[in-house]
Structure 1
Amino acid sequence: MQKNPNKKMVESTRKHHDSDAAQLASLGYESEFRRDMSPWANFSLGFTYLSPVVGVYTLFVFALAQGGPPMIWSIIICGLGQLLVALVFSEVVAQFPVAGGVYPWARRLWGRKFAWMTGWVYLIALFVTISSVVYGAGPFLAQILGFDVSVNTTILCAIIILVLSTIINFLGTKVLAAAAVIGFAAELIGALVVGVWLLATQRHHGLGVLFDSFGAGSSHSYFYAFAAAGLIGTFLFFGFEACGDVAEEVPNPGALIPKAMRRTIYIGGAAAVFVSLALVLSVTDIPAVIAGKDVTPVDTVLRGAFGVFGAKIVLGIVLISFLSCAISLQAAASRLAYSYGRDDMIVGSRLLKKFSSANHIPPYALLLAAIIPAIIVLGSKVSEDALTKIISFASLGIYIGFQMVVLAALRARLKGWKPSGKYQLGKWGVPVNIGALSYGIIAIVNMCWPRTPDAPWYDNYIVLVSGIVVIVFGLLYMMIHRSYGHSNMPYDDAIPKEYISTQKKAQ
């Protein structure tokens, strides 16, 4: 008699869930999340967080004005650098598939203090990034609704998008997964369909233009200009770690999340390069953009290609991309805050670790990921420039958080850590780890480099200053509250105990 295939599928699923629960229990946790997120949805979450459409539409004009068409090569360079980081993260999450991402990873690789600071920097960066995404989406929503774009309408529309994102996240993992897939579809339309149409109907240049700077950076070395243009790549290629932030909501996370992380880089990078290529070849007067005479070339190209009504449809697709990006960011931030709270590592842990048994989400952690970004957005009413100054920390903070994990992984390897998860780099572990750390340090220096010599020093060094302020506040918090010592959950267990005992004997 033939066995019922549905019964076999149910048994296989149950075994996977039992195995996942056993692995998590071995790490000291019993999860309250439901593993309702499919591999496809997990990839979509990382993709919409990375959001090539949001990144390109936000920084394309800046990158083209700074470095000319060759700026597109910086996207590829940054993609390769962040792929190395993703490979390191893949090994870590395969062994430690715990909700929250960089904080629990740093905790297992190094220790409590280091993990606390990693999570602090990254959590602040996530809050700021959420505010920057919804604020950036504000003008798109205002245009679609027929509002005049102003500070007030941008703030109103940004808050509307933030509220919508929060509602979707409150509906649970299944709705979050569906929203991520819809966002992924919107990203593909925004990147591929728009890109193909532009190349077919609006192309004004050949591929040779990608090697012509059109005089960009003529006042100093072109390397300086290319490095500035490269900020588009550093802004684009993060988000893959969101796949690991929801590790307790994915079945068989040790095998599936590393695949999702790498696919996010591959497909997201390809989409970003393609849409950037289409835009570069469609801009009629590139020298005018470099000279600052045309500050809205993307709007000009879209209106020329699709007309006024068609351009609004494209804006709608872009808006969906912004919304899905905000949803993914908020999900990541809430899981990190919950992870902090579950380990009693921060003020308010009693609320942050509360869990909704109905929707299987951490409600207060989600509220925190809505309230803080809303306050930052409202702050722009006092000073638009103040918002710009705060947002300048976003990418830097995320890169610092990444590199703290990469550094912790390299340190653990040198102390004897041998990754034992379902994804392993083997003999390539140390070279890839060193490459990831080297790339990250270069990217951080590039982000902090002063580029406005005529501005006051605090504006010229705003990215560096904002990073120092966040880190100093974190250190002061650690000194005063000492939350990092409140939890007895496992830490630094990646490092073999034989190594630790050998070091103690040597001392």
Structure 2
Amino acid sequence: MTSRKLSLDSFSTVTRPPPPRTETDTAMSLTLTRPAAAAPTASHQDAGDLGEFGYQQQLHRNLGKFASFAAGFSFVSILTTIFQLFGLGFGFGGPAFFWTWVVVFAGQFMVALNFAELAARYPISGAIYQWARRMGGEVVGWFAGWFMILAQMVTASAAAIALQVVLPNIWSGFQIIGDDPSLTSSSGAANAVLLGSVLLVLTTIINSIGVNWMSRINSIGVTCEIVGVVAVIGMFFAHAVRGPQVVLDTGVTGEAPGYGWAWIVSGLMAAYVMVGFGSAGELAEETRNPRRVAPRTIRLALSVSALGGGLMILGALMAAPSLTDGRLAAEGLPYVLGAILSSPWGTLLLVDVAIAVFICTLAIQTAASRLIFSMARDERLPASKILSHVNARTGTPIAPAVLIGVVCIGILAVNMGNSAIFATLSSVCIVLIYLAYLMVTVPLLLRRLRGWPHDGTATDADGDPLFSLGRWGLPVNALAVAYGLLMVINLSWPRAEIFNPDGTMPLLQWAAPLTVAAVVALGALCFPRRAAHPNPVTIGA
């Protein structure tokens, strides 16, 4: 409209002289041409919203709805984790282990609903740490963040090592060290460390050059993974040799007494997979309108992962050539895929799995780097000044990404020395994640008993009411706590078949409680007792 008015005025100037300008005309002209600063952009509103918590907008706020969803979905990465862990669940519980997937999803969805409510009210990077400290105080918040940092580093290493399961099957040239690709062999373990290290170097570079590159690559990868999941499900159902009633069969395990115990053990597979759905909260300071987007994508990432994973498990059970020859427990999904796919299609699917491994590692490292940044910004970690520095050009905290990459490569080296110890570390880190979740849900439950939340009329940047559980908040929160406690016990139980399957290291059987005790002791030494918090909060504020 402005350019069109100027053109008409210019034409008028040629045909007749303009009338003399008055003070009123001048004032009106200034009013019309002054930049409209009264209506702040959404990004400025989000930055101002962050400022209310005492933080400046340092990270670049460029993520939209799909990028936020992709962060949570790629962390769960069902194509990676179910590909790795299907045999674990089936081996312990037979086909009926399918129902553990449903139970774990129900429990984790209770947790996700609480996280969504917190994400709407505290859209801050380092979500688990920030939520826990606002609900339970500085000590609780610090230990929740401490548990998550260590767990995410081990989880990223475990995801990176999965490349060894995939790449040598695509092309033998990926087996650079030795000729035995098995993870349990010396050459396979060494090659796994090499491939995983290369992957971690790549993800570190991507996380350092900016959130835009990270989100684009992650979104493309998630799209490929979703297409791959749909393709796998379709192939499984198209080649089904038995009906869906197979999930009622306890299999060979059911012939022995105490199937309930075996079924509970088989639930560890689902418990290992369905974590990390809260990553949208970790990227809240880089998401547009996070009060609205993050709560939705936390729930959506878990729900889509659960639906896709459940259909994959069901399809594999229906399409497996045999449920009793032992191969399904030993080989998992590759056994089923190899039986129904020709070589080119099987290779293409393995490429898609490799992409899923890549974006899974990238997403975990991204979430961990934002958690370290958030805690360092509050001066809660050693070398906080370095770890909290944000590169002005890329808008990303580079030092945390580099630190995570280096530590993860060091953790990978453990696999080369003893694969049993690495597998045990991978299992124990899930216990730490569930403990960190409890350090949010337990204090939150106590706050609810005192009337939290108190902001019934609060709105997001669009003016819509914040996500709230309303009167369902108390029962949902209580169920989330009960589920979390039971799962921590189940994950930590000293089972030789999980922590010491070859029987050579009996001490590993007690790895979970011993590791948790060691992590707590080390955390107590690292806790910044004398350092005043630069941005203290009132509990529950």
Q: Residue in 1 aligned with 2:284? A: 247
Q: For residue 521 of structure 2, what is the amino acid of its counterpart?
A: V
Q: 1:293 to 1:50 in 2, by over 3 A?
A: closer
2:409 to 374, 378, 392: 374
SS of structure 2 residue aligned to 1:69: helix
11 and 314 in structure 1: CA distance in 2 versus 1, 3 angstrom threshold = farther
Q: Which residue does the alignment assign to 1:442?
A: 486
What does 1:265-284 align with in structure 2 at a 5 Å threshold? 265-284=302-321
Distance 1:104 1:379 in 2: 32
Whether the 8 Å contact between 2:207 and 2:398 is mirrored in structure 1 is no
What is aligned with 1:428? 472
Corresponding residue number in structure 2 for 1:308: 343
3-state SS of paired residue (1:35)? coil
Check 1:14–1:376 CA distance in 2 against 1; reply closer, same or farther (3 A cut). Answer: same
Contact 2:125–2:284 at 8 Å: present in 1 too? yes
Deviation at 1:297, TM superposition (A): 4.2
Partner Cα distance (1:163, 1:82) in 2: 32
State the partner residue of 2:84.
Answer: 58
Looking at structure 2, the residues matched to 333 and 282 of structure 1 have their Cα atoms a distance apart, in angstroms, of 38
Please tell me whether residue 80 in structure 1 is matched to residue 98 in structure 2.
no
Query: SS in structure 2 opposite 1:461?
Result: helix
Distance 2:248 2:493 in 1: 25
CA–CA separation in structure 2 for the residues paired with 1:107 and 1:140: 40
Hey, what does 2:390 align to over in structure 1? 355
Q: Confirm or deny that 1:34 pairs with 2:60.
A: yes
Q: Which stretch of structure 1 is more off in the superposition, 159-168 or 349-358?
A: 159-168
Shift of the alpha carbon at 1:19? 2.0
Structure 2 equivalent of residue 43 of structure 1:
69
- Taking the aligned partners of 2:328 and 2:148, their CA distance within structure 1 comes to 37
Deviation, structure 1 residue 446: 1.0
Match of 1:152 among 190, 215, 219: 190
Q: Following the alignment from structure 1 to structure 2, what is the Cα–Cα distance between the partners of residues 134 and 27?
A: 36
**Residue pair 1:116, 1:345 contacting (<8 A) in 2 also:** yes
Q: 1:297 to 1:267 in 2, by over 3 A?
A: closer
The aligned counterpart of 2:463 is none
Query: Which segment is superposed worse, 415-424 or 15-24?
Result: 415-424
- Between stretches 48-57 and 11-20, larger displacement belongs to 11-20
Shift of 1:409: 1.0
Offset at 1:23? 1.5
1:108-127 correspondence to structure 2 within 5 Å: 108-127=134-153
Shift of residue 488 of structure 1? 2.7
Matching of residues 151-190 of structure 1 within 5 Å: 151-190=189-228
> 1:139 Cα shift?
2.7
Structure-2 change in CA distance of 1:12 and 1:34 (3 Å): farther
Q: How many residues align?
A: 484
Q: Deviations over 1:448-470 (max 9, x none)?
A: 12322794552222223222221
2:525 pairs with 1:476 = yes
User: In the alignment, is the contact (CA less than 8 A) between 1:110 and 1:492 conserved in 2?
Assistant: no
Amino acid at match of 1:248: E
Pick one of 346, 366, 384 that aligns with 2:381: 346
- For residues 51 and 2 of structure 1, do their structure 2 counterparts lie closer, same or farther at Cα, with a shift above 3 Å needed? farther
1:207 is displaced (CA, Å) by 1.2
Sequence identity (%): 26
Specify the code of the residue in structure 2 equivalent to 1:276: I
The one-letter code of the counterpart of 1:40 is: F
2:266 corresponds, among 229, 233, 239, to 229
| Deviates further, 187-196 or 213-222 | 213-222
What's the CA shift for 1:73? 1.2
Give the AA of the match of 2:508: D
Question: Which residue is 1:504 aligned to?
Answer: none
| 1:400-446: CA deviation from partner (whole Å, max 9, x where unpaired) | 11111111211222234315351111111111110111111111111
Cα distance change on mapping 1:259 and 1:11 into 2, 3 Å: farther
Mapped partners of 1:126, 1:369: distance in 2: 9
Kept after mapping to 2: 8 A contact 1:103/1:119: yes
Task: Pick from 447, 460, 472 the counterpart of residue 412 of structure 1.
Answer: 447
CA offset digits 1:131-190 (Å, max 9, x no partner): 011012223123334124111211111111111211222221111111221121122122
Partner of 1:67: 93
More deviation, 188-197/253-262: 188-197
**Larger deviation, residues 464-473 vs 363-372:** 464-473
The answer to whether the 8 A contact 1:191-1:274 is kept is: no
* Alpha-carbon contact 2:91-2:329 (below 8 Å) kept: no
The aligned residue for residue 7 of structure 1 is: none
- Aligned 8 A contact 2:72 2:297 in 1: yes
What is the TM-score of this pair, normalised by structure 1?
0.91
Tell me: CA distance 1:417–1:377, structure 2 relative to 1, closer, same or farther (3 Å).
Answer: same
Question: For 2:57, what is the secondary structure of its paired residue?
Answer: coil
Question: Root-mean-square deviation (CA), in Å?
Answer: 2.2
Alignment partners' CA distance in 1, 2:50 and 2:3:
32
Query: Aligned equivalents of 1:283 and 1:486: distance in 2?
Result: 59
What's 1:487 paired with?
533
The verdict on how the C-alpha distance between 1:356 and 1:94 changes in structure 2, with shifts beyond 3 A counting, is same
Deviation at 1:283, TM superposition (A): 1.4
The Cα of 1:217 is off from its aligned counterpart by: 4.5
2:207 maps to a residue whose letter is N
| Distance verdict in 2 for CA 1:430–1:418, change over 3 Å | same
Counterpart of 2:41 in 1: which secondary structure?
helix
Q: Which segments of 5 or more consecutive residues in structure 1 lack a partner in the other structure? A: 5-9, 496-507
Quote how far apart the aligned CAs of 1:361 are: 0.4
SS at match of 1:317: helix
1:460 paired with 2:509, answer yes
Match of 1:333 in 2: 368
TM-score in terms of structure 2 length: 0.85
Is the 2:243–2:318 contact (alpha carbons within 8 Å) kept by the matching residues of 1? yes
Name which one, 1 or 2, has greater alpha-carbon Rg. Answer: 2
Alpha-carbon displacement from aligned partner over 1:301-335 (angstroms, at most 9, x marks no partner): 22222223322211110111111111110000000
The answer as to whether partners of 1:342 and 1:353 remain within 8 angstroms in 2 is: yes
Q: Is the 8 A contact 1:399 1:444 kept in 2?
A: yes
Query: Secondary structure of 2:516's match?
Result: helix
1:198 paired to 2:217 = no
Structure 1 position 293, deviation (Å): 8.5
